[in-house]
Structure 1
Amino acid sequence: MGAAGTAVVVIDMINTYEHEDADQLLPSVRASLPGILRVIERARADDSGIEVIYVNDNFGRWRSHHDEILSPALRGPHADLVEPIRPDDASLFVVKARHSIFYETPLEYLLGQHGIHRIVLCGQVTEQCVLYSALDAHIRHLDVTVPRDAVAHIHADLADAALRMMERNMGADVTDSRAEGLFG
């Protein structure tokens, strides 16, 4: 099938890390950052038109837009985790308020308009937003890929269980960011 009809969805990586559980999350974000960057770079270098879509929490700022979320993260104490994977001019950006990338966002419509049937999920948090997004993608009949080295967690045991659930219960392809068939 190939990479046509595929999008990389970067979940909640534009972040100041000024929230509960941030101290537990940060080591895993640092460890997964190379994998996330690899997925994004591979998608951007692919000539088959893989979309890179950032879906990010609005942090309760209901009038926010892309720059109002990105700028504080780039000025914050953990800008080193944001700068390498920041959206480029070709990236799409969707703001969310809850765990799932689909919940009350225009993402499903956007994917349909772009003919996307496969999503590669990377970002954070494996046992929360990534898991719920994979489930919502599954019930929308989208193919889901999750590179295990490109998702960050708060609790390693719950992340491992979440990845097993995505693979077993949702038919997700749980793989590695270096995998040859990452995009289909």
Structure 2
Amino acid sequence: MSKTALLVIDMLNDYDHRDSDALAANVGEIVDPLAKLIDEARASDDVDLIYVNDNRGDFTADRGDLIRTALDGKRPDLIEPIAPGDECTFLTKVRHSAFYATALDYLLGRLETKRVVLTGQVTEQCILYTALDGYLRHLDVVVPPDAVAHIIPELGEAALAMMERNMGAEIKPSHNCL
């Protein structure tokens, strides 16, 4: 059991929705640093790797369905480097926070997690709300700006500032997070 969990949030995306072009452009910037973080977590006995992905309203979708839909979507190049393997813990979510209506809180408690590193998309939405829920649960929250993607740059920056100021989140580069 580890005291740190790397959360990969909502990275399985078909990029067939409003704002997908702006989002995909920013995701392209974070794929390499995120892939390195995932590889580092996979190689470590001290970090739990947990994927949490929105089911996009399909309550019959499982991990395989979400991976397949993303890989068959408009930007498989953004999915392939970060796709979860069979060894990864995988949870589905229904709303913005990775904690809302998921088993994440219970899982982190069982793992005795004290620190979560939040990566993925969207900085000004799901990352922000997950950071708040982590803070409310007295977890140390870390957000690497080079491993989270925004839709609107100004809102992404504001979300990072809010996480740091209001939630005490550590905002630091991905190479310095685990």
Q: TM-score, normalised by structure 1?
A: 0.94
Distance in structure 1 (CA, Å) of the matches to 2:87 and 2:3: 16
Q: Which structure 1 residue ranges, 4+ long, deviate > 3 Å from structure 2?
A: none
Q: Deviations over 1:53-74 (max 9, x none)?
A: 1100001101111001111111
Q: Which residue of 1 aligns with 2:112?
A: 115
Select 2:135's aligned residue among 121, 135, 138: 138
User: Where in structure 2 are there 5+ consecutive unaligned residues?
Assistant: none
Distance in structure 1 (CA, Å) of the matches to 2:129 and 2:107: 19
Distance in structure 2 (CA, Å) of the matches to 1:115 and 1:88: 23
The one-letter amino acid of 1:103's match is Y
Distance in structure 1 (CA, Å) of the matches to 2:2 and 2:103: 21
The one-letter amino acid of 2:142's match is T
Q: How does 1:54-133 map to 2 (within 5 A)?
A: 54-133=51-130
Q: Deviations over 1:68-106 (max 9, x none)?
A: 111111122211111110111221001001000011111
Given the alignment of the two structures, is residue 174 of structure 1 paired with residue 139 of structure 2, yes or no? no
Pairwise CA distance, 1:4:
3.4
The one-letter amino acid of 1:146's match is V
The one-letter amino acid of 1:137's match is G
Distance in structure 2 (CA, Å) of the matches to 1:4 and 1:93: 17
Q: Which residue of 2 aligns with 1:36?
A: 34
Q: TM-score, normalised by structure 2?
A: 0.97
Q: How does 1:9-24 map to 2 (within 5 A)?
A: 9-24=7-22
User: Where in structure 1 are there 5+ consecutive unaligned residues?
Assistant: none
Q: How does 1:159-170 map to 2 (within 5 A)?
A: 159-170=156-167
Pairwise CA distance, 1:34:
1.1
Distance in structure 1 (CA, Å) of the matches to 2:83 and 2:31: 12
Identity %: 50
Does structure 1 retain, via aligned residues, the 8 Å contact 2:71–2:79?
yes
Distance in structure 2 (CA, Å) of the matches to 1:72 and 1:42: 26
What secondary structure is seen at the aligned counterpart in 2 of 1:82?
helix
Distance in structure 1 (CA, Å) of the matches to 2:58 and 2:49: 23
Q: Which residue of 1 aligns with 2:43?
A: 45
Q: Deviations over 1:89-140 (max 9, x none)?
A: 2210010010000111111001111111111000000000000100010001
The one-letter amino acid of 1:106's match is A
* Number of residue-to-residue matches in the alignment: 178
